Chains A and B, each alone.
Chain A
Amino acid sequence: EPEVTQTPSHQVTQMGQEVILRCVPISNHLYFYWYRQILGQKVEFLVSFYNNEISEKSEIFDDQFSVERPDGSNFTLKIRSTKLEDSAMYFCARTGREVPDTQYFGPGTRLTVL
């Protein structure tokens, strides 16, 4: 199945700035997810998005984070007032209608907070 596309591939920002990470899924995908991977560590779930609403979020996903699908296509993760510890790879994932629990990951966005 086709993968998702993520932009940018690398984002460098200053601490305290806002960043928006984008995921471009195929239109018939049903569920979307954001995960985070700090360098050298495991992949951690942030949030799932179903039917244009947040369906589940982890304890990591606090008020600093938000997700939306503003134009019905792109799926965005916004991080307000970034911190040094937000530096990580951020992955978008999606599942298809046929097999709802099989998740396919995008290539990721490397976020570096200075």
Chain B
Amino acid sequence: QQQVKQSPQSLIVQKGGIPIINCAYENTAFDYFPWYQQFPGKGPALLIAIRPDVSEKKEGRFTISFNKSAKQFSLHIMDSQPGDSATYFCAASKAEETSGSRLTFGEGTQLTVNP
């Protein structure tokens, strides 16, 4: 019940395209859904996050769509650039005052944006 399923495993788009990465979760107690971007040899970098009280959040070229009833959320990258080529991880957590909020990660999507 703690799992977060992510798809696709890899994705190749042309510059300017709109890659979409999808995630599904099972635990309805999750209340925070971040996306992380990771370059080879680096730590995950927080990209954008959403809470279940909204259905969409946009920051720059990155948009999260959230469907609470379906227990799914997705990341859209508008006008993708070669520099966006990286591995993207979705995650989910439930904040607890005395224990913090362990993140449960999806399996990751390797995105390649061709020039």
Contact with A55, one of B41, B44, B98 (Cβ below 8 angstroms): B98
A residues in contact with B105, CB < 8 Å: 42-44
Interface residues on B, range: 20 to 34
CB distance from B65 to the nearest CB of A (A): 20
Report yes or no: B46 in contact with A43, Cβ–Cβ below 8 A.
Answer: no
A102→B89 CA distance, assembly (Å): 15
One of B41, B46, B99 near A102 (C-beta < 8 A): B46
CB proximity of B27 to chain A, nearest CB, Å: 14
* Assembly CA distance A76 to B35 (angstroms): 26
Q: Sort A-B residue pairs by CB-CB distance and give the 5 closest, nearest first.
A: A31-B100, A55-B99, A105-B43, A101-B101, A101-B95
Known: A31-B100, A91-B44, A100-B95. 15 other contacts (CB 8 A): A33-B102, A41-B108, A43-B36, A45-B104, A50-B98, A50-B99, A55-B98, A55-B100, A56-B96, A91-B43, A95-B101, A101-B93, A101-B95, A103-B34, A106-B43
